[in-house]
Amino acid sequence: MVKQATLLADFDEAYSCFKSNYPDFERFETLRHKEYARLDAGGHIYLDYTGGGLYAQKQLDQHFTLLKEGVFGNPHSINPSSSASTKLVEQCREDILNYFKASPKDYAVIFTPNASGALKLVAESYPFCPDGHYLLSFDNHNSVLGIREYARAKGARLDYVPLDVPDLTMNEAELDRLLGSSPASAEKLFAYPAQSNFSGVKHSLDYIAKAQAEGWDVFLDAAAFVPTNPLDLSQYKPDFVGVSFYKMFGYPTGIGCLLARRDSLKKLKRPWFAGGTITLSSVMGQRHWLAEGSEGFEDGTVNYLMIPAVSLGLNHLKSLGIEKIQEHVNQLGGWLLEQLCRLRHANGQPLIRLYGPCNMKKRGATFSMNFYDASDTLMDHRQIEQIASDRGMSLRTGCFCNPGTGESAFGFEQSEIDTCFAQPKPRLTIDDLRVCVDGKSSGAVRVSLGLASHFKDVYAFAAFAREFLS
């Protein structure tokens, strides 16, 4: 049998064919040369945009000019340097609202260190109670799963919406059943990712209104979605949205935000107060009054030197157009998907087991997979990462802080997990789990694309994968 791998055309031929089907590619090619030249200068094949986006040269230049020319003080005051900071911080809130088409009447922007910080603010303040309910899809990031510890501690009910295998989309019948399974008046929170950081599956944003119609508050984890997709908060109105800005445009790190509907924010009861969050506190009086809106949720001094760089990053995305970025990663992702799904060993066995849909309709350009040899034996993803790293390729392996997707995709049995977790050890690790699910994968290889991705990146990965054929 002829190896399917030989179907991969040589680079020039494949590249010119790709470009002829996607005329807009030229714009992104120019962008890559101008703003991301360091990738090619250093011979990097960067394939971890879901881990972290990359910044354009101009974002740094503009931010450093701002810092070099301005004098910025702590914003909690009215002196000139303080006012200069306050102005930029407030401008950035406005820019974020504009970017997501959110009305300032409806939504508040609360700066956090990252998406996890946004999730934790809601986790610790949501009024879970014994009549309450926390519902979440199986494919959430650990930072969303972690909310369950607050829900459990306050006696709320906890349920997961399972995934349909192999597509790893949410099981809609179960979603409907669970959404309808607790009283309308209960305090109940439903959380799901707009795009899974493991499988790349895009879940319908219509679930937001569906859940709200049943009396749920909805936390939309948009961290892996917004770097390559538009989120229009005038159309979809989740109660809470969490994002990390470094995932959207690489710089700055250390800043995310919680976008919260003002009505829903009133529901949250903060477990403490801090500098910057109160209108008054007293030692003698033993009381404090929390400030309204975002102020009551931003502990201490916000990252006022870095926040202006968020505005610059948003400008960068706007200048490209998020719909164009979406199209760009869809084109590159579609090409890669087709190549990967074709790869078969000489005996006909597929090389790759891809987790999630085999076409771009319900997914973004994040692809998780495992490699199998000709006798259908799993190849260790850690070894694949090592070989890729030796070639200057940055990809990600493991479970990507998203254990539920792995458990669904790899076919773990409840009994395997129970046996594993019953071990009398002070601390279990992924290696312990690996032993319990002998023969099954405990992790995967993930490649993900972003606005600076080039055809040469996806081609390099397709060629790399081909080397594992026998």
Ligand X SMILES: Cc1ncc(COP(=O)(O)O)c(C=O)c1O
Nearer to ligand X, 86 or 143 (CB): 143
CA 28, CA 372: separation in Å to the nearest integer? 34
Q: Please identify, among the stretches 56-64, 68-76, 108-116, 332-340, the one whose residues bind ligand X according to the rule CB under 6 A.
A: 108-116
141 binds ligand X (CB under 6 A): yes
Q: Please identify, among the stretches 114-122, 168-176, 329-337, 422-430, the one whose residues bind ligand X according to the rule CB under 6 A.
A: 114-122
What is the token pair recorded at 277?
Answer: 């969050």
**Hey, what amino acid is at 187?**
E
CB of 258 to ligand X, least distance (A): 11
Q: Could you say which of 244, 331, 339, 441 contacts ligand X (CB under 6 A)?
A: 244
Residues 6+ apart with CB under 8 A from 399: 198, 405, 406, 430, 442, 443, 444
CB of 221 to ligand X, least distance (A): 5
* Cβ 203 vs Cβ 193: under 8 Å: yes
Nearer to ligand X, 357 or 364 (CB): 364
62 binds ligand X (CB under 6 A): no
Q: Total residues contacting ligand X (rule CB under 6 A)?
A: 12
CB of 243 to ligand X, least distance (A): 9
Nearer to ligand X, 31 or 409 (CB): 409
Q: Could you say which of 75, 132, 193, 296 contacts ligand X (CB under 6 A)?
A: 193
Nearer to ligand X, 221 or 457 (CB): 221
CB of 134 to ligand X, least distance (A): 16
252 binds ligand X (CB under 6 A): no
Interactions with ligand X, residue window 330-369 (CB under 6 A)? none
Catalytic residue (choose from 129, 358, 399, 401): 401
CB of 194 to ligand X, least distance (A): 8
Q: Please identify, among the stretches 30-38, 152-160, 221-229, 462-470, the one whose residues bind ligand X according to the rule CB under 6 A.
A: 221-229
* 401 belongs to the catalytic site: yes
Q: Please identify, among the stretches 31-39, 109-117, 347-355, 424-432, the one whose residues bind ligand X according to the rule CB under 6 A.
A: 109-117
- Among the listed residues 332, 306, 328, the one whose alpha carbon sits nearest the alpha carbon of residue 317: 328
Nearer to ligand X, 48 or 95 (CB): 48
CA 251, CA 249: separation in Å to the nearest integer? 6
Burial track 290-299 (b if 16+ CB lie within 10 A, e otherwise):
beeebebbbb
Q: Could you say which of 59, 143, 408, 453 contacts ligand X (CB under 6 A)?
A: 143
197 binds ligand X (CB under 6 A): yes
CA 422, CA 60: separation in Å to the nearest integer? 51
Nearer to ligand X, 107 or 192 (CB): 192
Instruction: Catalog residues that contact ligand X under the rule CB under 6 A.
Output: 50, 114-116, 141, 143, 193, 197, 221, 223-224, 244
**Residues with catalytic annotation?**
401
